[in-house]
Structure formats: C-alpha cells, structure tokens
Amino acid sequence: MVENVSKTYVTKTDRITALDDVSFSIEPGELVSLVGASGCGKSTLLRIIAGLSRASEGSVSVAGTTVTKPNPGSVAVVFQEDALLPWYTIEENVGLGLLARGDRRADIRRAVAMAMDQVGLGQFARAYPRELSGGMRQRAALARGLVMEPEVMLLDEPFAALDEQTRNLMGQELRALHSRIGGTMIMVTHSLTEAVLLSDRVVALSSRPGRVRTVLPIDLPALRPVELIDEPEFGVLRNELWQQLEGDWRRSERS
C-alpha cells in the first residue's frame, strides 16, 4: 500500500521533486507493472517501497506494517543490473541473504536448491556469474529474491539488458513463476507491451514529478502467449496506456 508518497531530492544546487502524492494499493498475489517515461521516479518509488530510501511525505506499508528500513524477508528487490558478486558462485550469490540473516547452512542449501530449480538454473549452481549469459544471470538475480520468500518482490526493469526474444521468454517465465508460487510482484518496465502482456494491473506515472496518471486493470486471459500482442483487445489496452502517457513521454524527451 503506497499512501500519498512524495519525494524531493535536495542537492547542493537543486531541489528535484521526483514523486508527488503517489497512492495506490496492491492486492496480495497481484503482478503489477509500473510504467512511465525515463526520470519519472519509478526506481525512486521502488527504493522507497523496499525501505532503501525515505519518502519525504507519505508512507508505504506491506501486509499492514509500515516500511521504515530494508527487510529482504518481506520485500526483496531485483535490480536492473543483476548485481551478482563475481567472486562467488551462483549458489553462493543466491544464498547470501539467508546467510546474512543467520540461517543454518543445511536450511540455506535446501532453500537455494529450490529457488535455483524454480528459475531453471539447477545445473549452474557451481558456476560463476561470468560463465552465465545475461538471461541466466537475470534468473540468478530472481532466485536471490525468491529464496527470501518475500511478501513482495520488486523488479526494476529486470529484462532491460536482454535482446527482444530472450526478453519475451523471460517475461513468459516470470508470469509462469508468479502463477506457480504466488506472492506479490511489482515490476518496472519501459515497455507498455510488456506491461500489458505480463501484468494484472498497470500503474502509469506521469513525467517529473511522478504522479499516478492511471491504474489500468488488464482483463486478459490468464494464459498470455506472445501472440496475444496481435489481438485487438491487446491493442486497445496498450493504446489506452499510450494515450495517457504520450504527452509525458514527449516532455521527458525534451527535458
């Protein structure tokens, strides 16, 4: 639940209002996308939800508890860059959060193996990040969040660095994973198509300062093959978002 969140960054020379009075609530188990032009405050909002940054005004709560500091067991983040540590193996990377929490080794091993299987990386447990493709590294980053069994998983443009085809496949996998394990997911994406294809609802933010332009429910079948993109009902939803955001995108291009 995001309530009246505003965020102003104060630098030596400037005050930048990144978010202005942003409110929305997310049902447990929903997959929601956050879209908006570059610089509209999407990452800022994720950081606030994750407790990594403080709202200037307003508050965020997860399962009834106000977020005041990072708590990866409640809210886990998958960043845009996969941020794996190069000197650890994939399984060590995935287990870091549990290790930091002081879990027992045997429990960590079991949980890590399960998370790696969920993302289809079981065979690469002992590999190092440099030995994996970009898509596989992104899966490892996903496993690192999953292993914490968080209430909410935040994904900041998780597929931005991937080619279009891999990105489509990863999107499909993410949706399948979400319906298999449940849990709430909030994903930032630049792509309106990806947002419509993968989400239950889309929150669209205006360009700076970020305000909620619209919250669009995506009433499409649960099964969403990529071919759905060519269907008229898909186009209607994507156009709806585009019409809401077109002006913002143009403005952000000029600024």
Ligand X SMILES: Nc1ncnc2c1ncn2[C@@H]1O[C@H](COP(=O)(O)OP(=O)(O)OP(=O)(O)O)[C@@H](O)[C@H]1O
Please identify, among the stretches 35-43, 100-108, 139-147, 194-202, the one whose residues bind ligand X according to the rule CB under 6 A: 35-43
- Asked whether position 41 contacts ligand X by CB under 6 A, the answer is yes
Q: Is 4 in the site for ligand X (CB under 6 A)?
A: no
Over the window 43 to 62, marking each residue x when it contacts ligand X by CB under 6 A and - when it does not, the resulting string is xx------------------
Residue among 1, 8, 39, 249 that touches ligand X (CB under 6 A): 39
Task: Spell out the residues 6+ positions from residue 65 whose beta carbon is closer than 8 angstroms to its own.
Answer: 74
Of the two residues 213 and 224, which places its CB atom closer to Mg ion in the complex? 213
Main-chain phi, psi angles of 140, to 5 degrees: -65, -40
**Helix count (H) and strand count (E) of the chain?**
7, 10
Is residue 140 classed as helix, strand or coil in its secondary structure? helix
Return d(Cα 62, Cα 142) in angstroms, integer. Answer: 20
Between 52 and 96, name the residue whose CB sits nearer to ligand X: 52
Q: Which is nearer to ligand X, 132 or 186 (CB)?
A: 186
Q: Please tell me the distance from the alpha carbon of residue 153 to that of residue 185, in angstroms, as a whole number.
A: 5
Q: Which of 139, 167, 208, 224 binds ligand X (CB under 6 A)?
A: 208
For 74, what's the count of Cα atoms within 13 Å in the CB-facing half-sphere?
Answer: 16
Neighbours of 217 (CB within 10 A): 10
Picked from Mg ion, ligand X, none, the partner binding residue 32 (CB below 5 to 8 A depending on kind) is none
Region of 33-41, 105-113, 117-125, 172-180 interacting with ligand X (CB under 6 A): 33-41
